[in-house]
Amino acid sequence: MSPYTPVLLHLLLLVSLASAGHFYGGSMSFTPKGRNADGTFKVDFRYKNTHDWCGYAYWYCSSGNCGSSIEDVRGTIDTSSRGRSAFYNQ
């Protein structure tokens, strides 16, 4: 088994945890940053996602040391009424 297999499986788990009702899509990338003294890996994760309202973004960790969100940047992509919204177009 490749040493990156557990990392890729965790990425798939993270993507699957997003709520489909408000979630439009996203991407996650990671960059290996070397090893720690105990042999574990240092990895930089970048997770971008799009929701239909700005109060929905959060970082979920099911177990272990999953790190933390360092920066949360929010912005408006589209304010038109033509887009789908889980609040109004049920």
35: β partners: 41
| pLDDT value of residue 38 | 93
Residue 52 near residue 22 (C-beta atoms within 8 A): yes
Give the pLDDT score at 29.
87
- Report which DSSP code applies to 6: H
Helix (H) or strand (E) holding 8: helix 5-16
Read off the pLDDT of residues 30-54 as tens digits, 9 standing for 90 and up. 889 999 999 988 888 887 777 666 6
Compare 72 and 82 and report the one with higher pLDDT: 72
In terms of pLDDT, which residue wins out, 89 or 72?
72
Mean pLDDT, residues 3-23 taken together: 65
Closest by CA to 51, choosing from 28, 19, 82, is 19
Residue 19 pLDDT: 47
Answering whether pTM is above 0.85, one says no
